[in-house]
Amino acid sequence: MAILEASNIHKRFGGTEVLKGVSFSLERGKSLALIGSSGSGKTTLLRCLNFLEQPDGGTISVNSEVLFDAADPSTHTESGVRKKRLHFGLVFQQFNLFPQYTALGNVTLAPELLARDEPGYASDKARILARIREEARGILAQVGLADKMDSYPHELSGGQQQRVAIARALAMKPDILCFDEPTSALDPELSGEVLAAIRRLSERNITMVIATHEMGFAREVASQVIFLSDGAILESGPPEQVLANPQTERLRSFLNAVL
């Protein structure tokens, strides 16, 4: 049973069609790797899933619930979109941590704000906040930052910042966690620790969609690989098939270029 189904996603910016009808589905607990050269539409696809861009066509469903249907404006409302976003998490290429909060503060901020909507928040505030902090500490420890909870982003290395960003996304307990080239802004020696953190998530069966240029990592973590080219899916399938046995000249030359 698919947890995520994206169907016929179209997106254009001005005269440029960036996504030309992308469809895929993803099983719960599996990971999907999006590969393709810059400008192929990977980032736009992730941004559509996270409602940072509104697709011009297509539908997005999670757990068989249609979250977005381009043809149905009632699925586009601002307040509705905010709730639907919570099905997804997004880790950005540039981390985008909040500089004025500590690592722990970055992780607890959104859960604390969300908890205000809970019934009984006022009467149980202290306990709820303590629980959120406890969970956040646990998540930061999982990504190997138990000793960096009180550091501010500028005091952390790029790899540590990105792991805080992963912890921040995890704290919202999304159904599907998306990564937009999570190691592209990092020095090679720092990407290893971030990739290791993501690998551990896949072992815990967190459902993930990962745009990446790290083919070895994609092969290892993903159960499914999609090769995007010019906004369309050119090849898809299990990594051993797509990466080891490319069917198209485009994918062959792409793999030759990145490996």
Partner 1 sequence: MGAGLADVTINLIEGFKLNCIVFGVTLLFSLPLGLGLALCSMSRYRAVRVVSKTFVWIVRGTPLLLQIIVVFFVPGLLLNVSPPERMDAAVIAFVINYTAYFSEVYRGGIESIPKGQYEAGQVLGMTKSQIFFKVILLQVVKRIIPPMSNEIITLVKDTALMRVIANKEIIMFAQQYISGQAIIWPLFYSGVFFLLFCGVLTLLFGAAERRLGYFRA
- Applying CB under 8 A, among 89, 159, 182, 239 the residue interacting with partner 1 is 89
Q: How far is the CB of 45 from partner 1 (least distance, A)?
A: 14
Residue 179 makes contact with partner 1 by CB under 8 A? no
Residue 167 makes contact with partner 1 by CB under 8 A? no
Q: What is the 3-state secondary structure (H, E, C) of 174-211?
A: CCEEEEECCCCCCCHHHHHHHHHHHHHHHHCCCCEEEE
**Three-class SS state of 45:** helix
**What mask, x for binding partner 1 by CB under 8 A, covers residues 23 to 52?**
---------------------------xxx
Instruction: Match 């990564």 to its residue by tokens.
Output: 179
Residue 98 makes contact with partner 1 by CB under 8 A? yes
What's the first-to-final CA gap in the chain, in angstroms? 34
- Applying CB under 8 A, among 77, 94, 247, 248 the residue interacting with partner 1 is 94
CA distance 153 to 259: 32
Is residue 129 within 8 A of residue 112, CB to CB? The reply is: yes
Strands 232-237 and 224-229, bridge-based pairing: antiparallel
**What mask, x for binding partner 1 by CB under 8 A, covers residues 120 to 159?**
--------------------------------xxx-----
In the bound state with partner 1, the residue whose beta carbon lies nearer, of 48 and 233, is: 48
- Applying CB under 8 A, among 24, 68, 88, 217 the residue interacting with partner 1 is 88
Q: How far is the CB of 93 from partner 1 (least distance, A)?
A: 9
CA distance 164 to 194: 10
- Applying CB under 8 A, among 25, 39, 80, 114 the residue interacting with partner 1 is 114
- Which of the residues 228 through 257 are near partner 1 (CB under 8 A)? none
Exposed, middle or buried, 215 (CB in 10 Å: 0-12/13-18/19+)? Answer: middle
Residue 82 makes contact with partner 1 by CB under 8 A? yes
Please state the separation of Cα 69 from the chain's center in Å: 20
- Applying CB under 8 A, among 113, 122, 126, 257 the residue interacting with partner 1 is 113
| Site stretch for partner 1 (CB under 8 A), options 20-28, 86-94, 138-146, 215-223 | 86-94
State the number of binding residues for partner 1 (CB under 8 A): 27
Phi-psi region of 8 (alpha: psi -120 to 50; beta: other; left: phi over 0): left
Query: Comparing C-alpha atoms, which of 177, 245, 195, 242 is closest to residue 36?
Result: 242
**What mask, x for binding partner 1 by CB under 8 A, covers residues 186 to 205?**
--------------------
**Three-class SS state of 227:** strand
Residue 76 makes contact with partner 1 by CB under 8 A? no
- Site residues (CB under 8 A) for partner 1? 50-52, 82-83, 85-86, 88-90, 92, 94, 96-100, 109-110, 113-114, 152-154, 168-169, 172
